[in-house]
């Protein structure tokens, strides 16, 4: 489906890149660009895709004359070149953010051999750690942030494990900011979740298990047997879901599943 010259059947992209490199959330667009050319033209907001580097337009948001039909604010690849911005139809068509090729996005979860660390990814994680920790918490169902706004131990452990397992070593076309929380949980090995604070639905799920009934102390999960959390793809070749699973003793308990695709 096309609207006003834009492809709208894309995965939801919430980040943009500037010509000189920095990647930011679309909420920061005006503050970072000062609405200068080529980012602002004819009252439309343009930038570059963080993944393929080809031009994107920011859709929706106030003061934008392109209304998104859903009322949401997001970024989408432009169909045509925009003056002053890089445009590469080949790279765009292969971009995981672009749905011209169906299931492009699944390549985000693929492992590469012998790749160097992706510098953009490590910078992005450092600069957006609280936001990523919050989103990881929402995905796994345990608090990613403490009340003082710093990351929780379970997030720190997952991030460490992700890095130790080569999570930073990705292809440029796998740098998709929206997917980073999912990439972290999927690449991490099982981590201890003792002392973590589950969300209510997860706490209820844990307490329904006969072996874990007594494991909640206050708001914290404090099982008296070794318990780890792991996040696994339902299908390695064609993932659609990430399963959030507890491992304890010889047993396991699926806490929830989340969509492998950012909706
Ligand atoms: Zn792209």
pLDDT of the chain, 263 residues: tens digit per residue: 344 444 444 567 899 999 998 999 999 999 999 999 999 999 999 999 999 999 999 998 765 445 555 568 899 999 899 999 999 999 998 898 886 656 678 888 988 888 999 999 999 999 999 999 999 999 999 999 999 999 999 999 999 999 999 999 999 989 999 999 999 999 999 999 999 999 999 999 999 999 998 999 999 999 999 999 999 999 988 899 999 999 998 899 999 999 999 87
pLDDT for position 64: 46
Residue 172 CA to ligand 1 center (angstroms) comes to 11
Alpha-carbon distance values, 79 to 1, 34, 82 (Å) = 12, 24, 9
Residue 27 CA to ligand 1 center (angstroms) comes to 18
Q: What angle do CA 176, 13, 240 make, to 5 degrees?
A: 70
Residue 7 CA to ligand 1 center (angstroms) comes to 12
pLDDT for position 134: 98
Which pair of tokens denotes residue 35? 């609405």
pLDDT for position 8: 45
pLDDT for position 237: 84
Question: Backbone dihedral region of 60: left (phi > 0), alpha (psi from -120 to 50 degrees) or beta?
Answer: left
- Contacting residues for 211 by C-beta, under 8 A, at least 6 apart: 225, 248, 249, 251
d(CA 243, CA 231): 5
Residue 242 CA to ligand 1 center (angstroms) comes to 24
Under 8 Å between Cβ of 46 and 39: yes
Residue 263 CA to ligand 1 center (angstroms) comes to 16
Residue 81 CA to ligand 1 center (angstroms) comes to 13
Residue 98 CA to ligand 1 center (angstroms) comes to 6
Taking alpha carbons only, the member of 187, 181, 198, 166 closest to residue 132 is 181
Taking alpha carbons only, the member of 136, 226, 225, 221 closest to residue 183 is 136
pLDDT for position 3: 45
Residue 139 CA to ligand 1 center (angstroms) comes to 24
Residue 260 CA to ligand 1 center (angstroms) comes to 19
Residue with tokens 């990523």: 132
Predicted TM-score (pTM) of this structure: 0.86
Under 8 Å between Cβ of 178 and 15: yes
Residue 93 CA to ligand 1 center (angstroms) comes to 8
């Amino acid at each position: 489906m096309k609207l006003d010259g834009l492809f709208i059947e894309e995965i939801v992209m919430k980040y943009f890149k500037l010509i000189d490199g920095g990647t930011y959330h679309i909420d920061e667009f005006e503050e970072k660009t000062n609405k200068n050319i080529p980012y602002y033209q004819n009252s439309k907001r343009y930038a570059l895709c963080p993944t393929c580097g080809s031009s994107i337009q920011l859709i929706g948001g106030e003061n934008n004359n392109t209304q998104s039909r859903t009322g949401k604010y997001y970024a989408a690849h432009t169909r045509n070149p925009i003056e002053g911005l890089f445009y590469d139809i080949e790279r765009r068509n292969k971009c995981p953010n672009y749905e011209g090729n169906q299931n492009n996005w699944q390549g985000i979860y693929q492992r590469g051999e012998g790749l160097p660390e992706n510098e953009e990814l490590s910078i992005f994680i450092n600069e957006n750690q609280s936001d990523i920790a919050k989103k990881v918490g929402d995905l796994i169902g345990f608090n990613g942030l403490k009340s003082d706004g710093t990351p929780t131990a379970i997030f720190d452990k997952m991030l460490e494990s992700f890095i130790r397992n080569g999570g930073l070593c990705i292809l440029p076309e796998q740098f998709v900011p929206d997917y980073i929380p999912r990439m972290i949980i999927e690449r991490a090995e099982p981590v201890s979740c003792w002392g973590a604070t589950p969300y209510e639905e997860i706490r209820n799920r844990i307490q329904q298990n006969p072996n874990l009934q007594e494991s909640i102390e206050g708001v914290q999960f404090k099982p008296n047997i070794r318990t780890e959390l792991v996040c696994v793809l339902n299908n390695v070749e064609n993932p659609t879901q990430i399963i959030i699973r507890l491992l304890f003793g010889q047993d396991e308990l699926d806490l929830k599943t989340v969509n492998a695709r950012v909706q």
